[in-house]
Amino acid sequence: MIDSALLALAIETNVAAALREDIGSGDLTAQLIPADHQASAYVICREKAIFCGQAWFEACFRQLDPEVKIDWYTQDGQCIGVDQMLCEVKGNARALLTAERTGLNFLQTLSATATAAHRYAEAIKGTQAVVMDTRKTLPGLRLAQKYAVTVGGGANQRIGLYDGILIKENHIAAAGGIAAVLQATRNAVVPVQIEVENLSELEQALQAGAKLILLDNFDLKQLRAAVALTQGRAVLEASGGVGLDSLRAIAETGVDRISSGAITKHISAVDLSMRIQ
């Protein structure tokens, strides 16, 4: 779960950086409009999607015009459709024009992430498995995309390197083996997960007391064998080569979690547009 204060800070930071990147020394085109001119605009959707990014969109306009008024006709997590009006924005015309592209960029990207997560979550509905994200996020948008995953019905893996331990093959090699590296985590106060690449390593991890195990690139037969071998002694997560076409079959092996980088990196921006009235 993302801390609300941390998320609020991320929103303001994301938006400030994005606006700075776009505006630079000033919006030369917007300066063609009288400084005190007021305007209104609406945002419309061109395709079916799961809406996400409302707070980022609002911050784009409020950072330029604190008096801006935004009336929403949808909320994060709701399904939006073709030609649906999402909101109306009223405020300083220059601010509306300057914030337009940045605001839409956030909405398009986060709605795309939420939509991908929703498709994955729906594909395994009725199984015991949950879809999780990874750290394969757009640089600078880690919390934003992880928030979008939850909006779409997925769950968050660790946020970063600081709030969870994931022991991978290089950590195991450097530490001298599975038992040795798990022993080094005995006083950890964060979740500890270890990655295994075959059933032999899984057995070693279980014997060493692992409670959260990532099954890396196991095929369906191996996943079923892993579930049978584990017998509920640890939470099992399938990862590696996970796609929408293989997701249901993976979930039906009995694993508890399925993680996929695709829901945050293999996304296509949702088609949205803003029109000044």
195 annotated active-site: yes
The active-site residue out of 12, 197, 216, 252 is 216
Which DSSP string do the residues of 216-230 spell out, in sequence order?
A: ET--HHHHHHHHHHH
21 annotated active-site: no
The active-site residue out of 20, 48, 69, 101 is 101
Provide the H-helix boundaries in 29-168: 54-62, 93-123, 142-151
The active-site residue out of 58, 65, 133, 195 is 195
Angstrom distance (rounded) from CA 153 to CA 110: 13
- DSSP-assigned letter for residue 267: -
For residue 214, report the phi and psi dihedrals to the nearest 5 degrees. Answer: -100, 125
125 annotated active-site: no
| Sequence-ordered list of residues with C-beta below 8 angstroms from that of 230, at least 6 positions apart, any chain | 202, 206, 213, 236
The active-site residue out of 46, 135, 136, 211 is 136
Token digits for 190? Answer: 């964060």
Q: Residue written as tokens 């938006």?
A: 15
71 annotated active-site: no
168 annotated active-site: yes
**Helix 142-151 to helix 93-123 angle, to the nearest 10 degrees?**
60
Enumerate the active-site residues.
101, 136, 168, 195, 216
